[in-house]
Amino acid sequence: MQTVLVTGGAGYIGSHTILELIDAGFEVVSVDNYVNSNSSTYDRIFELSGKRIDYYEVDLRDLEATKQIFTDHPNMVGVIHFAALKSVPDSVANPIFALDNNNSSLNNIAKCCVEFNVPNLIFSSSCSVYGNVMPEDLPVTEQTELKKAESPYAYSKQNGEVLLEFLTNVSDLHAICLRYFNPVGAHISGQIGELPSKRVNNLIPVITQAAAGVIPHFTVFGGDWPTRDGSCIRDYIHVTDIANAHVLALQKQMDGSYTECFDIINLGSGDGVSVFEAIAAFEKASGVKAPYEVGPKRDGDVETIYSNPQKAAEVLGWIPKYGIDEMMSSAWKWQLRMKELGIAKHKMD
Ligand code: NAD
Ligand code: WQD
């Protein structure tokens, strides 16, 4: 069996990717320190897949403990590195902690891949590396110039990409950086989804929480942007489509047809959806109102960003399967499931 190490596997995108990897026939090992997740994720993966995976509780800043995982799994064919602190506001409040966590974890994973001859690495990058995108830059392609990072979080992703490019020049490592736009929704069964330890600030979770009464309402950050309806525009993409792109990227690396030893690929749908359109899509998919008020703009928000998805289609054959209706209906199913499990509120406080 070909073994893949998934770091941050108890988290949101990691857990959905583990399901896709199992489905594709890989043996999966996961590592997480649960700073923003919970080991109960593995029970839900078992319920959905019938597979108990091997997992470690390790902080990836600990090099010796990280090495032990590689020693234990000599058949490792690749690593998918999700583990990171992803909250932009938290990184602004505590830049050293965020940078140390994200950079040290990647450094250790990269060191181990080279030392243990694991040839393939896929790195979770982010559209935040593009910085403050101007309207003339849209849709964003992989060639779009990176501007100054707007947060320590975005800086950690820019750093990660640069490190991997240098490292692949002087080692046998092959690395692909996947730059996600706005991953949303939950597994289509509604049995697994995002279960963060901290309060979430992203749009779709606050919509579902407001609709479920977990929070009284949410705020739309600005209604007078120069867009078609006055709200910001983003490129939302279903989390299972994001997960699936990792499997395709790894398979491509493994079948030897990938000519590049370092590459960068955007994962977006190519469609911009406004905040008001997202709310309307949610209400249509769920049949439930999500109470909101229109408030001031949020610091650091860009007006519009969406991706040109051509490279992912050409290189990986990746075509997103799910549209905005499934993104919203699955997010709602998961919100209701969290209520059933009794984890709807306290996890968000
Ligand atoms: P998440 O917080 O749900 O998952 C990340 C996981 O990494 C968590 O389970 C956390 O406990 C773990 N982790 C963090 N630091 C660790 C460490 N030092 N050692 C071991 N485990 C550690 O986040 P996610 O949404 O699943 O994001 C996964 C990756 O994708 C991250 O790298 C994130 O930056 C990137 N990304 C996410 C989004 C998004 O909107 N969700 C967008 C672009 C990029
Ligand atoms: C989406 C839209 C808000 C909350 C973030 C990170 C980015 C990447 C993806 C990791 C924006 C509006 C939101 C609310 C609102 N993550 N909004 N009320 O900011 O596009 O991107 O996640 O790499 O780095 O910055 O996502 O979901 O926070 O916001 O009106 O309560 O919804 O203004 O237009 P964002 P988001």
pLDDT computed for residue 310 by the predictor: 98
pLDDT computed for residue 349 by the predictor: 43
**The pLDDT of residue 107 is above 90:** yes
Index of the ligand 2 atom closest to the CA of residue 125: 23
**The pLDDT of residue 347 is above 50:** no
Average pLDDT, whole number, for the chain? 95
Confidence of residue 87 (pLDDT cuts 50, 70, 90): very high
Identify which of 318, 315, 332, 247 has the alpha carbon closest to the alpha carbon of residue 13.
Answer: 247
Confidence of residue 344 (pLDDT cuts 50, 70, 90): low
Confidence of residue 76 (pLDDT cuts 50, 70, 90): very high
Pocket lining: 158 vs ligand 2, CB cutoff 6 Å: no
Residues with a CB atom less than 6 Å from ligand 1: 8, 10-14, 32-37, 59-61, 82-86, 101, 105, 124, 126, 180, 182-183, 196
pLDDT computed for residue 196 by the predictor: 73
Token pair for 23: 């489905």
Pocket lining: 232 vs ligand 2, CB cutoff 6 Å: yes
Count the alpha carbons within 13 Å of 76 in the hemisphere toward its beta carbon: 28
Question: Using an 8 Å Cβ cutoff, are 178 and 124 in contact?
Answer: yes
- Reduced to 3 states (helix: H, G, I; strand: E, B; else coil), residue 311 is helix
Range of the domain at 45: 3-341
pLDDT computed for residue 278 by the predictor: 98
104 within a domain of the structure (yes/no): yes
156 within a domain of the structure (yes/no): yes
346 within a domain of the structure (yes/no): no
Dihedral of the alpha carbons of 45, 282, 234, 207, in degrees to the nearest 10:
-80
Token pair for 326: 């499934």
**The pLDDT of residue 332 is above 60:** yes
**The pLDDT of residue 197 is above 80:** no
Instruction: Report the pLDDT averaged over residues 218-239.
Output: 97
pLDDT computed for residue 201 by the predictor: 86
Instruction: Report the pLDDT averaged over residues 34-38.
Output: 94
**The pLDDT of residue 226 is above 50:** yes
The pTM is what? 0.97
**The pLDDT of residue 273 is above 90:** yes
348 within a domain of the structure (yes/no): no
pLDDT computed for residue 346 by the predictor: 41
Instruction: Report the pLDDT averaged over residues 132-159.
Output: 95
Classify residue 256 as left (phi > 0), alpha (psi -120 to 50) or beta: left
pLDDT computed for residue 1 by the predictor: 80
pLDDT computed for residue 198 by the predictor: 74
291 within a domain of the structure (yes/no): yes
pLDDT computed for residue 289 by the predictor: 98
- Residue 265 bridge partners (DSSP): 178
**The pLDDT of residue 345 is above 60:** no
Q: Using CA positions, which residue lies closest to atom 43 of ligand 1? A: 126
Confidence of residue 199 (pLDDT cuts 50, 70, 90): confident
**The pLDDT of residue 139 is above 70:** yes
Classify residue 234 as left (phi > 0), alpha (psi -120 to 50) or beta: beta
Q: Please tell me which residue, 15 or 195, carries the higher pLDDT value.
A: 15
44 within a domain of the structure (yes/no): yes
The tally of domains found in the chain comes to 1
349 within a domain of the structure (yes/no): no
The predicted-structure confidence for 12-33, as pLDDT tens digits, reads as follows 999 999 999 999 999 999 999 9
Confidence of residue 341 (pLDDT cuts 50, 70, 90): confident
In this structure, what CATH number is given to the domain that contains residue 100? 3.40.50.720
In one-letter notation, the amino acid at residue 335 is Q
- Residue 28 bridge partners (DSSP): 4
Mutate to test the pocket of ligand 2, among 267, 298, 304, 324 (most ligand atoms within 8 A of CB): 298
Residue 124's contacts (CB-CB under 8 Å, 6 or more residues apart) are 8, 13, 80, 81, 82, 84, 178, 180
Kind and range of the H or E run holding 221 = strand 218-221
283 within a domain of the structure (yes/no): yes
Residue 236: φ, ψ to 5°: -85, 145
Instruction: Report the pLDDT averaged over residues 78-106.
Output: 96
The predicted-structure confidence for 46-73, as pLDDT tens digits, reads as follows 999 999 999 999 999 999 999 999 999 9
Index of the ligand 2 atom closest to the CA of residue 157: 23
Classify residue 185 as left (phi > 0), alpha (psi -120 to 50) or beta: left
